[in-house]
Structure 1
Amino acid sequence: MKIYRMISAFAIVALFSGCESDGASFDSPAASGGGTVGQTGSLARFAITQDRLFMADDQRLMTYDIADVEAPLYVSSQYENFVIQTLFARDNNTLFAGGDRGMAIYNVSDGQPNLLDMYIHIQSCDPVVADSTHAYVTLNSNNGCNGVSQLDVLNVSDLSNIQEIRSISLDNPKGLCILGDRLYVCNNGVMVYDITDRDNPQFLRTVPITDAVDIIAYRGSFFITTLTGVKIVDIDENGVVTERSSLW
């Protein structure tokens, strides 16, 4: 039951941010393109952009029209050649999918997912976040997936030609998010990286958040999924944590 509650909490964040006006200011670089992009955690299997809801069900990618949230309309479904584990809408036009074989990028400008390119790696489970030029993918071998545990840095400035820049070995990485020039990675706490140089994340510190699983940056605060619920906290530049509230 707890996991469904945590997913529901992040769904609330997604829908709330998705209902903001087009002129709203979002903290996440992924939403900087204007329009309506719902913010979800990097472990989410759904994403919202404009009036489209994209949902993953193993190898099936489904699209719904949610212009009328009281009566969502099924649009289409398509089968992919990998198991889709996470979805992330970078902006109104671009959808990232992480899976057991790699990361895929789709153009969704016409409301339908059209594959642009795919980055293939050895089998692992991989959340993904991205900004206008780079994507960051965590590979985790401890969740029933084969492979390695690491953070991959990818150049996605050309959406049709993904370039691997580097990999950073980690112990147990899970969800992650970008806020300005900082990358936050759930890995035995929350690791903070300086990504002023997007190609070369520089480790700054680990913030002691027990059992952190996924993280969303929203309006200067962080929604962090743990094994016991969702914490809403502020994290300053020195890594000092101020807990604002918690769910469940």
Structure 2
Amino acid sequence: MKKYLYIITLVIVALGCSSDGTSNGESLSTADSVGQGGSLATFVIKGDYLYTVDNEDLNVFNITNTTEPVLVNTVRIGFDIETLFSYRNYLYIGSRNGMFIYSVDSPEFPEQLSSVQHFTSCDPVVANDQYAFVTLWSDLGCNGFVNQLEVYDVTDVLNPVLINVRELTFPKGLGLYGDYLIVCDDEIKIFDVSNPAESTLVHAIDKLAFDVIIQGDLLIAVGESGVYQYSLDAQNITNTSQLSTISI
């Protein structure tokens, strides 16, 4: 897991250096977040604040002066915290044992709204207005034994409801592209989630990757040996074209 986080951090930094604006895809996955990363990211930037997670805590930094970030709060979450995803004024935090939802209506004082528990496993999460999508995989470092996709109805963020479980091979990172969910499994799988309670596999890309970043109609897949860019077509999701490969 640490190896994946190191690689994805390098990719996020590179993307930040190469882009000076937001993308069409931002509304699909990261909403108001300035910093755009994959589902395995451990930090996110929202306005003048940087949020990071470590093994136990959510840390809040004021970055009004970007050269001198100031730690303004540390919120204890629990143990084995792994990933951080932002959508609108919510932070979705993945751990080996569950998912936590925090409000950042008050940016310096994140407030826990709810949590759900699951089998011990690695646990990235992405979300939109109504649903949160979680992959669980049996990585040795996470002591897990399940490999599945879970879908939660988060219309009421105070009471997430599990509405679907789908068995997969070894799912890792994931990302939303409109009504489609892109999941890194034994290949890059694309599911139609217009009805999240009954997701449908509609396309697959024959590539091993552990996380995806979606910027508008651009899919960036991050693997252990390379970063792969594909064009996406919302009108014909099977029409994916590889644009480039960057070896790591």
Q: TM-score, normalised by structure 2?
A: 0.89
- AA aligned to 2:246 is S
Quote the Cα distance in structure 2 between the aligned partners of 1:15 and 1:128. Answer: 25
Report the Cα distance in structure 1 between the residues aligned to 2:91 and 2:196, rounded to whole angstroms.
20
CA deviation after TM superposition for structure 1 residue 180, in Å: 0.8
Alpha-carbon deviations, 1:151-200, whole Å to 9, x = none?
Answer: 00000111111100010001100000001111000001100001111332
Cα pair 2:225 2:247 within 8 Å, conserved = no
Q: How does 1:188-203 map to 2 (within 5 A)?
A: 188-203=186-201
Aligned position for 1:10: 12
Partner of 2:101 in structure 1?
A: 105
Q: Deviations over 1:187-242 (max 9, x none)?
A: 01100001111332111122111x20100110210111101132222244225332
Preserved contact between residue 171 and residue 187 of structure 1 (Cα < 8 Å): yes
| 1:96 corresponding residue in structure 2 | 92
Q: How many residues align?
A: 241
Flag structure 1 segments of 5+ consecutive residues without an equivalent.
none
Percent same amino acid at aligned positions? 31
- Stretches of 4+ moved more than 6 A in 1? none
**CA distance in structure 2 between the aligned counterparts of 1:181 and 1:201, rounded to whole angstroms:** 10
Work out whether residues 234 and 244 of structure 1, in 8 Å CA contact, stay in contact via their aligned partners in 2.
no
Shift of 1:97: 0.2
TM-score by length of 1: 0.89
Supply the AA of the counterpart residue of 1:103: M
Code of the residue aligned with 2:242 in structure 1: it is T
- CA RMSD across the alignment: 2.2
Q: Secondary structure at the match of 2:197?
A: coil
**Partner residue in 1 for 2:231:** 234
Distance 2:195 2:242 in 1: 28
Q: CA deviation at 1:14?
A: 5.5
Distance 2:104 2:117 in 1: 21
Change (3 A) 1:229 1:6: farther
